[in-house]
């Protein structure tokens, strides 16, 4: 199948490359020529595990190419995947102007009939508007356009795995031929006919084939927003439990483990910490809230989840202020900048808000992240960027873990302790083992459990009742 991918961001690049990997002939395009230049030089404008190798392999095989010529790219594909960003507008609604622009371009430049597939996350009923735009702008054309919705469920950091081994494939269509085309496109994935899977080096674990769910276009669009909002709700719920645990002397890790063993709840997305960031959950829950408000549905449940998330940095910094007395002039090392591990993406990353707030308090901020330093430098040019965690610890009065990179776990924490002015760690992701950290002499604060220092302070504050001795 000849496929065009519009948009070379995270979703477009992974989608285009993986579609080439399963045998299709794919051309990817973007209106940002610099991205195409980078790709044509054999590099990637983003970091995503396995993607580099996969791009190189498919370009070499002649199945994947990149062009800045939008018109030419549109003419090539029988199927066009729209993978254009839908960033939040000032009021939180999704900005769908990129999709509208794509519709006009497709209608103008097409020289054959096309199936136009929305992969971008869009508000429900966008498919209807896309169909209308294609009809209006293509009214003088001889070609016909069908529209489908095929939401992506790609997690950054494991997007290639998620594409090649999905839990489900959702296709929202309004006619049988679109369904058949999409079934044909995804057949190698549905039947797990991967020749040389880059994630498992050809030896993929046995897994039930993913269900290909066919729905209406509206339902497919809604599935995506409903999923991301539910994941956000789940995280905020875990954080609410964490706050109760801290107040009542329980441990959120134990509580969520106990919850997750119930198959109706499940263990995933119950990690308490600094909350959810990235370019999906925060913007999608906001867009879903605006959508609900527009149609008069009570969305207070979603608003509360968003509010809980916004307050995570407040409670984290309150704890730090308590332990450090004041943040002013303190040397603080932030360990982790990306919104989650295995990505260089810092969009809506909790670490960005954390750094802003530390600077507002006049702390001296140093940072380290295995992948996200360059991107952060553009936002905070004047903070100190360290070559490794040991440089970060050197002279620091506290380290704050904002991203749970697995390699932070295996650092030589005894050495870090020796390098620090004060062995104090605020673990915003509950990455480290409290007992081990305390054994190494750290004053250690996690999330959703009182530190030993906090527990002792609380005991001292409770007057003993007469006769209790």
Q: Could you tell me if 109 and 70 are in contact, meaning their C-beta atoms sit under 8 angstroms apart?
A: yes
| Cα–Cα distance, 357 to 380 (Å, whole number) | 12
59 vs 226, beta carbon nearer ligand UGA = 226
Interaction between residue 230 and ligand UGA (CB under 6 A): no
| Cα–Cα distance, 14 to 145 (Å, whole number) | 25
Of 122, 114, 91, whose CA–CA distance to 11 is shortest? Answer: 122
- Least distance to ligand UGA, CB of residue 348, Å: 8
Interaction between residue 70 and ligand UGA (CB under 6 A): no
Q: Which of 153, 380, 385, 390 binds ligand UGA (CB under 6 A)?
A: 153
76 vs 346, beta carbon nearer ligand UGA = 346
- Least distance to ligand UGA, CB of residue 117, Å: 16
Interaction between residue 305 and ligand UGA (CB under 6 A): no
Place of tokens 């530390």: 358
- Among the residue ranges 13-21, 56-64, 149-157, 373-381, the one whose residues contact ligand UGA (CB under 6 A): 149-157
Interaction between residue 152 and ligand UGA (CB under 6 A): yes
- Least distance to ligand UGA, CB of residue 274, Å: 7
Interaction between residue 270 and ligand UGA (CB under 6 A): yes
Q: Which of 280, 396, 424, 449 binds ligand UGA (CB under 6 A)?
A: 280
CA neighbours closer than 13 Å in the CB half-sphere of residue 130: 33
- Among the residue ranges 129-137, 169-177, 268-276, 324-332, the one whose residues contact ligand UGA (CB under 6 A): 268-276
Q: Is 280 a catalytic residue?
A: yes
Interaction between residue 275 and ligand UGA (CB under 6 A): yes
- Among the residue ranges 79-87, 92-100, 228-236, 454-462, the one whose residues contact ligand UGA (CB under 6 A): 228-236
Interaction between residue 368 and ligand UGA (CB under 6 A): no
Subset of 328-347 contacting ligand UGA (CB under 6 A): 339-340
Own/partner contacts of 185-190, CB < 8 Å, gap of 24 or more, are 185/1, 185/3, 185/19, 185/24, 185/79, 186/212, 188/22, 188/23, 189/22, 189/163, 189/164, 189/165
| Cα–Cα distance, 39 to 35 (Å, whole number) | 6
Interaction between residue 428 and ligand UGA (CB under 6 A): no
Q: Which of 29, 228, 366, 430 binds ligand UGA (CB under 6 A)?
A: 228
C-alpha separations of 316 from 269, 275, 322, 435, 447 in Å: 20, 11, 10, 20, 8
Q: Could you tell me if 172 and 141 are in contact, meaning their C-beta atoms sit under 8 angstroms apart?
A: no
| Cα–Cα distance, 217 to 237 (Å, whole number) | 30
Count the residues of the shown chain that bind ligand UGA, applying the rule CB under 6 A.
Answer: 21
| Cα–Cα distance, 142 to 156 (Å, whole number) | 40
- Among the residue ranges 136-144, 148-156, 206-214, 450-458, the one whose residues contact ligand UGA (CB under 6 A): 148-156
Q: Could you tell me if 110 and 145 are in contact, meaning their C-beta atoms sit under 8 angstroms apart?
A: yes
| Cα–Cα distance, 53 to 38 (Å, whole number) | 15
- Among the residue ranges 84-92, 126-134, 146-154, 373-381, the one whose residues contact ligand UGA (CB under 6 A): 146-154
Backbone angles phi, psi at 92, to 5 degrees: 95, -15
> Catalytic one among 18, 197, 280, 386?
280
Interaction between residue 413 and ligand UGA (CB under 6 A): no
> Could you list the residues that contact ligand UGA (CB under 6 A)?
121, 152-156, 228, 231, 235, 269-271, 273, 275-278, 280-281, 339-340
Q: What amino acid positions are annotated as catalytic residues?
A: 280
């Amino acid at each position: 199948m000849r496929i065009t991918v519009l948009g070379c961001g995270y979703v477009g690049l992974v989608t285009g490359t993986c579609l080439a990997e399963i045998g299709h002939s794919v051309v990817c395009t973007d209106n940002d020529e610099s991205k195409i230049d980078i790709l044509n030089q054999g590099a990637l404008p983003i970091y995503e595990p396995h993607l580099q190798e996969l791009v190189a392999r498919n370009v070499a095989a002649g199945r994947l190419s990149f062009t800045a010529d939008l018109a030419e790219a549109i003419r090539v594909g029988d199927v066009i995947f729209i993978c254009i960003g839908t960033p939040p507008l000032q009021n939180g609604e999704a900005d769908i102007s990129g999709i509208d622009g794509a519709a006009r371009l497709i209608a103008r430049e097409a020289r054959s009939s096309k199936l136009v597939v929305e992969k971008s996350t869009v508000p429900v009923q966008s498919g209807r508007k896309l169909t209308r735009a294609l009809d209006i702008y293509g009214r003088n054309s001889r070609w016909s356009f069908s529209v489908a919705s095929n939401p992506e469920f790609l997690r950054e950091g494991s997007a290639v795995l998620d594409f090649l081994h999905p839990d489900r494939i959702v296709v929202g269509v309004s006619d049988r031929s679109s369904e058949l085309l999409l079934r044909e496109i995804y057949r190698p994935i549905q039947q797990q006919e991967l020749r040389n899977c880059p994630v498992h080096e050809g030896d993929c674990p046995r897994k039930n084939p993913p269900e290909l769910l066919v729905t209406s276009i509206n339902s497919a669009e809604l599935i995506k927003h409903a999923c991301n909002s539910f994941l956000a709700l789940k995280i905020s719920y875990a954080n609410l439990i964490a706050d109760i645990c801290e107040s009542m002397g329980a441990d959120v890790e134990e509580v969520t483990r106990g919850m997750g063993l119930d198959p109706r709840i499940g263990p995933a997305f119950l990690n308490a910490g600094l909350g959810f960031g990235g370019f999906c959950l925060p913007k999608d829950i906001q867009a879903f809230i605006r959508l609900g408000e527009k149609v008069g549905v009570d969305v207070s449940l979603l608003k509360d989840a968003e509010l809980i998330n916004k307050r995570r940095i407040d409670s984290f910094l309150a704890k730090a202020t308590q332990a450090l007395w004041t943040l002013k002039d303190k040397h603080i090392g932030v360990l982790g900048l990306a919104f989650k591990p295995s990505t260089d993406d810092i969009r809506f990353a909790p670490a960005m808000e954390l750094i802003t707030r530390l600077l507002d308090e006049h702390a001296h901020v140093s940072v380290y992240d295995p992948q996200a330093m360059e991107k952060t430098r553009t936002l905070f040019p004047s903070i100190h960027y360290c070559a490794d965690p040991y440089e970060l610890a050197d002279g620091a009065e506290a380290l704050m873990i904002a991203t749970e990179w697995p390699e932070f776990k295996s650092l030589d924490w005894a050495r870090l302790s020796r390098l620090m002015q004060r062995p104090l760690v605020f673990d915003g992701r509950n990455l480290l083992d409290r007992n081990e950290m305390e054994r190494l002499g750290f004053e250690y604060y996690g999330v959703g459990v009182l530190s030993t220092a906090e527990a002792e302070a609380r005991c001292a504050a409770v007057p003993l009742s007469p006769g209790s001795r």
